[in-house]
Amino acid sequence: MSEFTLYDTTLRDGTQMEGISLSVEDKLNIAERLDQLGVHFIEGGWPGSNPKDEEFFRRAKDLKLTNAKIVAFGSTRRANTRPEDDPNLQALLDCGAPVVTLVGKTSDEQVTKVLETSLEENLAMIRDSIEYLRSKGLRVIFDAEHFFDGYAANQEYSMACVKTASEAGAEQVVLCDTNGGTMPVDVFSVVSAVRGAVEGGIGIHCHNDADVAVANSIAAVQAGATQVQGTINGYGERCGNANLVSVIANLKLKLGMDVVTDEQLGHLTEVHRFVAELANMPRSRYQPYVGDSAFAHKGGLHASATAKMDMAYQHIEPGLVGNAKRVVVSELAGRANIVIKLEEAGLTADVPKESLGDLLKLLKDQEAHGFQYEGAEASFRLLVRRTLPGYSRPFELVDYMVVMEKRRRQNSSQDNGDETLCEAMVKVRVHGELMHTVAEGNGPVNAIDAALRKGLIQAYPAVANVQLTDYKVRVVEQGPDGTGAVVRVLVESTDGEHYWNTVGASANIIEASWQALTDSLEYALLAK
């Protein structure tokens, strides 16, 4: 499949998604990672549209890429303008990218109503722009914008556009489902028709407005497309683009196409997480192949079968894409879930088989009261250890109190003198000694955390290294008066090297927070 190419447009089309803004440094780092993944073309942006993209292309010349070519994106010349006088084309020439992707209209309605020019002039714009850039030594890819919608309305004109592009020297004519509403069966039919009428390569560029962008991309390949364009994690305008992560996995593992090496495929989950982190976007735990839940088994029947046969309830071996199988515990768990989790925690030898039923009942009782352990494995491990004979907690709660006071202070410059005071008093017993501490915080949870650490720091200096990195609150069960809700608090913590998650649940948010916080510190001390 040496003629087949992967084209990534995360750095241009992906940044059009709401909430995403990449710095130049981010774009350069992502480009390097895409190159390592085995992507053939990396679209860096639109030269001349903004200073950030201009800087990217300037600095991209120093990247040591081994697989990919940097691509500059732009449009065909303006109507009734010579190519040499068109500022967009000149910016493409000046940016130094060896490959240029030109977008041009291939829908008659878009030409007359959006470009407000004639159908004949649009064909000339496509031809002149490609021939001009080719005469300057650049490789050209043509993105046929709104092709599928245009083809449905006026097949003859849309075909004339892509034929013109191919004859003018475009090495790939990429059919774009710009509005994202075409179905896979129609993509297959249209790509098949174009393959028989146009010389050179045919590509596919799909948007996900009907949630079939990946399916459409695969259908196009099955119909003969030799290039797929997409973005990491499906980022893009409106509902996003075809998710190149899923496309790569499907082409490699389902269609048997060696679009990347086995080693590169093994980095797919890492790339998914890396790009999400730089884009400052939440990772979808349910994303196929690479999501945290992609190979998670929760139901007791599933976990039991998976313990006997890895592939009982998963379609591939997770390690192929750098992911891992997970068995979670919940109210839906069976004994097999518990056994597997005990094995992962190294506790199998400590828990007698005859105790598994009691442990499973305890787990289900806890979850019935609002706890959820599938996202809080540290709390689950503590739950197990607390049932074991001889386990002694490193500290014991005696009492705590939280005071919140809204008061008006004289001569304050903040909020017209209003200030909220949060103060916590905590009593804990450590090694038989009662520790009574008080601390203020910028909120009740912060105050409790600070007071608790004061009481533990002398006996356990390691708590100074524990940092809370995330705090989530969710309403579990709504009370009859609307405010008497059971809430679940999830806390993520780190010691700078490892991360762990703990949970608390109560109708009192302070109590739920206390449970999650104390679990976090107890787990940290247990790990030492």
* Cα gap 215→187, rounded to integer Å: 10
- 3-class secondary-structure state, position 33: helix
State the pLDDT at residue 407.
Answer: 64
Tokens of residue 226, six digits: 């030799």
Q: Exposure pattern of 86-105 as b/e (b: 16+ CB <10 Å)? A: bebbebbbebebebbbbbbb
**Cα 500 versus chain centre, distance:** 20
Residues 6 or more apart from 404 whose CB is under 8 A from it? 420, 421, 422, 444
Q: Are 73 and 53 in contact (CB under 8 A)?
A: no
Per-position DSSP letters for 306-338, written without gaps between them = HHH-GGGG-SS-GGGGT---EE--STT--HHHH
Task: Quote the pTM value.
Answer: 0.71
* Cα gap 343→226, rounded to integer Å: 46
Percent of residues in the chain assigned helix, strand, coil, to nearest 5: 45, 20, 35
* Cα gap 231→408, rounded to integer Å: 53
Compute the CA torsion angle 447, 448, 449, 451 (nearest 10 deg): 90
Per-residue pLDDT tens, the chain, 528 aa: give them.
348 999 999 999 999 999 999 999 999 999 999 999 999 999 999 998 889 999 999 999 999 999 999 999 999 999 999 999 999 999 999 999 999 999 999 999 999 999 999 999 999 999 999 999 999 999 999 999 999 999 999 999 999 999 999 999 999 999 999 999 999 999 999 999 999 899 889 999 999 999 999 999 999 999 999 999 999 999 999 999 999 999 999 999 999 999 999 999 999 999 998 999 889 888 888 999 999 888 877 655 665 666 667 777 789 999 999 988 766 655 445 556 666 666 666 666 566 676 677 777 777 777 777 787 766 888 888 888 888 887 889 999 898 999 988 765 555 444 555 667 899 999 999 999 999 999 998 888 899 999 999 999 999 999 999 988 888 888 875 555 555 678 889 898 998 888 888 999 998 889 999 999 999 999 999 865
CATH T-level fold of 354-394+460-528: Double Stranded RNA Binding Domain (3.30.160)
State the pLDDT at residue 258.
Answer: 95
Domain 5-260 part of CATH 3.50.4.10: no
State the pLDDT at residue 1.
Answer: 37
Tokens of residue 244, six digits: 């190149």
Q: Where are the alpha helices (DSSP H) in 3-72?
A: 24-37, 51-60
State the pLDDT at residue 2.
Answer: 42
Q: Is the dihedral of CA 253, 258, 259, 264 positive or negative?
A: positive
Q: Could you state, in order of their start, the residue ranges of all structural domains in the chain?
A: 5-260, 354-394+460-528, 403-453
